[in-house]
């Protein structure tokens, strides 16, 4: 909204006086232009917006009151040198900043900062160019605001989509950089986004600019006097990840050590053919047998992509809200879930995969896949054209699994009225026994808390990302409380079984970080040492993933 120089926010950053805040804002305006600075003043109604038109100062799926995780202001730099200047300004004023790219990050906190009153740095608004696409090298170099939709459109418009496919997560509105740095996943053979990134340009907490990997080696032929970010990148920056010496890219993921302003991402050459499929399994307790079939197929890369094994209620929720199936507001029973599966002509578990390559290759792979799975009694194999129902999930997945971004998936949050959601995302072995136990432990807790179990197993290279979707009525404080209790309880339960989560919402970061406590918290000590060395004033995303700078008493921030 419109902002006066003298306006004060709903919430000031910690230990920042109103006068210092105003001085900070006026300096920020002179750096990025007044039109790129928004103070979140007390009149700001904190509207949630929509997925495509998302709010920028709080979490649209808030699990506490909307104005708890709220920014004091949002600043949108127009280029790398402005990011550097804003970071230096924050360091001078000791104002915490919270960078984000597209700022969707649904189920994990959206754009909201961990420390109320932090200044959001919105990178996606003005820094959204596809800087390069190389067909020969099969990669793109992008700015933070490039989303799956925008990269896909770019490839279609330039005729390059014929040569190169992207990998997309369930929803296309997220940014390539935001998702990769959060170590998010998609579903093609390039589904592990951090694995497929190559080369970063990063603004450090002191404002300095670093290129990682091969980017550290200057390319000959640069005109003298160019700012570092304008210098021609090394020709192998996007081709070889590791460069020379310690490999640093990992410390810029799920972290608070820098702002990624450019990143390379590998694209998949058009495989020359493609076929999505679905296999349905009739019984809840087929889970263990299915997972034991998945493991060897995935290890041998007969399953070429990142397939998913979805619980019936995830699919049911994409089709209809809960009220369509039942009048009750307690968890559905086994018999009711069987009934829903029958009605939708789906299994209690539904496996969505795809094969890639010319016809003879696909035929061989599909035969092997069918031979393995269809030994499970009652299982059925479908191609997209076999599913004629409206909004068929297999047809939606058929787009997603070939890197065509979509918006259809999030309908499952409408399972309950005012549906908001949290993801609980523990890692499991690809083993029937492990997956079945994790399912049992999490499902029991969901039902005990009064929620339906809604979930999916995403098959990584050697692990399952088990995603439990907790849908709650975000206008109902009692349901929010229960959702938080459920998360905290499942974190404890899972840690007791030796399972940890791969990513989480702001509200749960500390608790999960505390479960990764081998050898007297040696990992956290390492993280804090690096944090304090790179960011002595603790301005960059304090508390992100449980890492607090020395200037914060982390006990005081426990939720
Ligand atoms: P998405 O692009 O999926 O909508 P966000 O832009 O909200 O996701 O990013 C998710 C999280 O990733 C942010 O809250 C922030 O912690 C981190 N992040 C996003 N972009 C950057 C970036 N360019 N540099 C550093 N961290 C980032």
pLDDT tens-digit map of 53-82? 899 999 888 888 889 999 999 999 999 999
DSSP H stretches of helix in 380-499: 393-400, 432-448, 477-496
d(CA 276, CA 281): 17
Q: Write the residue with the smallest CA distance to atom 25 of ligand 1.
A: 259
Whether the per-residue pLDDT at 410 is higher than 90: the answer is no
d(CA 80, CA 230): 9
Question: CA gyration radius for the chain?
Answer: 24
d(CA 153, CA 134): 16
Run of H or E residues at 310? strand 308-311
CB 162 within 8 A of CB 200: no
d(CA 67, CA 45): 10
CB 291 within 8 A of CB 356: no
Atom number in ligand 1 closest to CA 541: 16
Which pLDDT band, with edges at 50, 70 and 90, does 391 fall under?
A: confident
Whether the per-residue pLDDT at 395 is higher than 50: the answer is yes
Mean pLDDT of 254-280: 98
Which has the closest alpha carbon to 546: 493, 494, 507?
Answer: 507
Q: Write the residue with the smallest CA distance to atom 12 of ligand 1.
A: 178
Q: Write the ipTM.
A: 0.98
Mean pLDDT of 103-128: 95
Residue 430 Cβ inside 6 Å of ligand 1? The answer reads no
d(CA 488, CA 331): 20
What integer best gives the mean pLDDT of the chain? Answer: 96
β partners of residue 192 = 185
Q: Write the residue with the smallest CA distance to atom 13 of ligand 1.
A: 100
Residues marked as catalytic: 108, 502-503
Within 8 A by CB and 6+ apart from 453, the residues are: 311, 313, 331, 439, 442, 443, 446, 447, 468
CB 210 within 8 A of CB 245: no
Tell me how far the alpha carbon of residue 557 lies from the centroid of ligand 1, in angstroms.
22
Residue 175 Cβ inside 6 Å of ligand 1? The answer reads yes
Which pLDDT band, with edges at 50, 70 and 90, does 335 fall under?
A: very high
β partners of residue 130 = 142
Residue 545 Cβ inside 6 Å of ligand 1? The answer reads no
DSSP-based helix, strand, coil % in the chain, nearest 5: 35, 20, 45
SS (H, E, C) 508-521: HHHHHHHHCCHHHH
CB 260 within 8 A of CB 331: no
Collapsed DSSP state (helix, strand, coil) of residue 280:
strand
pLDDT of residue 112: 95
Which of 86, 101, 141, 259 should be mutated for ligand 1, with most atoms under 8 A from CB?
101
Atom number in ligand 1 closest to CA 173: 4
CB 130 within 8 A of CB 176: no
Residue 178 Cβ inside 6 Å of ligand 1? The answer reads yes
pLDDT of residue 278: 98
pLDDT of residue 408: 78
CB 280 within 8 A of CB 347: yes
Which pLDDT band, with edges at 50, 70 and 90, does 320 fall under?
A: very high
Residue 169 Cβ inside 6 Å of ligand 1? The answer reads no
What does the pLDDT look like over 174-219, one tens digit per residue? 999 999 999 999 999 999 999 999 999 999 999 999 999 999 999 9
Whether the per-residue pLDDT at 2 is higher than 50: the answer is no
Whether the per-residue pLDDT at 399 is higher than 80: the answer is yes
Query: Which residue carries 């479908």 as its tokens?
Result: 382
pLDDT of residue 6: 63
Tell me how far the alpha carbon of residue 219 lies from the centroid of ligand 1, in angstroms.
29
pTM: predicted TM-score of the whole model, two decimal places: 0.96
Tell me how far the alpha carbon of residue 4 lies from the centroid of ligand 1, in angstroms.
28
Which pLDDT band, with edges at 50, 70 and 90, does 7 fall under?
A: confident
Residue 144 Cβ inside 6 Å of ligand 1? The answer reads yes
Query: Which residue carries 């989560």 as its tokens?
Result: 501
Collapsed DSSP state (helix, strand, coil) of residue 308:
strand
Tell me how far the alpha carbon of residue 286 lies from the centroid of ligand 1, in angstroms.
37
Residue 177 Cβ inside 6 Å of ligand 1? The answer reads yes
End-to-end CA distance of the chain: 31
CB 547 within 8 A of CB 524: yes
Residue 181 Cβ inside 6 Å of ligand 1? The answer reads yes
Tell me how far the alpha carbon of residue 270 lies from the centroid of ligand 1, in angstroms.
28
Whether the per-residue pLDDT at 4 is higher than 80: the answer is no
CA separation, residue 441 to residues 179, 490, 504 (Å): 28, 8, 19
CB 55 within 8 A of CB 120: no
Tell me how far the alpha carbon of residue 182 lies from the centroid of ligand 1, in angstroms.
7
pLDDT of residue 1: 40
User: Helices 393-400 and 312-319: crossing angle, nearest 10°?
Assistant: 100
């Amino acid at each position: 909204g419109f902002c006066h120089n003298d306006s004060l926010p709903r919430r000031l950053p910690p230990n920042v006086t109103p006068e210092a805040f105003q001085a900070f804002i006026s300096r920020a305006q002179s750096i990025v232009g007044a039109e790129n600075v928004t103070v979140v003043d007390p009149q700001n109604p904190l509207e949630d917006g929509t997925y495509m038109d998302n709010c920028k100062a709080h979490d649209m799926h808030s699990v506490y009151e909307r104005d708890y995780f709220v920014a004091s202001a949002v600043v949108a730099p127009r280029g790398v040198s402005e990011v550097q200047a804003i970071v230096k300004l924050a360091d001078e004023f000791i104002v915490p900043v919270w960078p984000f790219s597209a700022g969707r990050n649904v189920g994990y906190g959206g754009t909201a900062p961990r420390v109320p009153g932090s200044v959001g740095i919105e990178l996606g608004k003005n820094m959204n160019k596809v800087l390069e696409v190389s067909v020969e090298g099969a990669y793109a170099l992008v700015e933070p605001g490039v989303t799956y939709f925008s990269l896909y459109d770019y490839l279609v418009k330039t005729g390059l989509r014929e040569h190169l496919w992207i990998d997309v997560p369930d929803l296309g509105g997220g940014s390539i950089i935001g998702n990769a740095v959060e170590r998010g996943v998609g579903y093609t053979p390039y589904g592990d986004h951090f694995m497929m990134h190559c080369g970063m340009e990063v603004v450090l907490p002191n404002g300095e600019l670093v290129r990682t990997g091969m980017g550290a080696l200057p390319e000959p032929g640069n005109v003298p006097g160019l700012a570092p970010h304008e210098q021609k990148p090394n020709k192998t920056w996007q081709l070889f990840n590791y460069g020379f010496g310690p490999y640093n890219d990992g410390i810029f993921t799920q972290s608070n050590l820098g702002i990624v302003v450019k990143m390379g991402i590998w694209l998949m050459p058009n495989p020359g053919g493609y076929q999505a499929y679905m296999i349905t399994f009739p019984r809840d307790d087929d889970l263990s047998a299915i997972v034991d079939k998945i493991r060897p197929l995935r290890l041998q890369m007969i399953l070429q992509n990142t397939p998913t094994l979805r619980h019936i209620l995830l699919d049911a929720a994409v089709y209809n809200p809960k009220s369509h199936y039942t009048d009750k507001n307690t968890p559905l029973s086994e018999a009711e879930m069987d009934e829903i599966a029958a009605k939708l002509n789906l299994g209690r578990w539904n496996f969505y995969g795809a094969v890639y390559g010319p016809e003879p290759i696909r035929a061989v792979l599909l035969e092997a896949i069918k031979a393995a799975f269809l030994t499970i009694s009652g299982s059925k194999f479908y191609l997209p054209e076999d599913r004629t129902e409206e909004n068929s999930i297999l047809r939606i997945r058929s787009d997603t699994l070939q890197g065509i971004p979509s918006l259809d998936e999030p309908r499952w949050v409408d399972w309950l009225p005012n549906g908001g959601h949290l993801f609980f995302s523990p890692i499991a072995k690809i083993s029937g026994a492990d997956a079945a136990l994790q399912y049992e432990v999490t499902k029991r807790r969901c039902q005990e808390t009064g929620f339906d179990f809604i979930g999916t197993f995403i098959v990584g290279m050697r692990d399952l990302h088990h995603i439990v979707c907790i849908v709650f009525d975000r206008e109902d404080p009692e349901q929010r409380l229960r959702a938080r209790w459920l998360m905290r309880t499942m974190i404890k339960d899972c840690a007791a079984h030796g399972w940890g989560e791969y990513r989480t919402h702001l509200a749960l970061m500390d608790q999960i970080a505390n479960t990764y406590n081998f050898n007297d918290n040696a990992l956290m000590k390492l993280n804090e040492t690096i944090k304090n060395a790179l960011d002595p004033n603790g301005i960059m995303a304090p508390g992100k993933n449980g890492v607090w700078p020395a200037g914060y008493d982390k006990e005081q921030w426990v939720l």
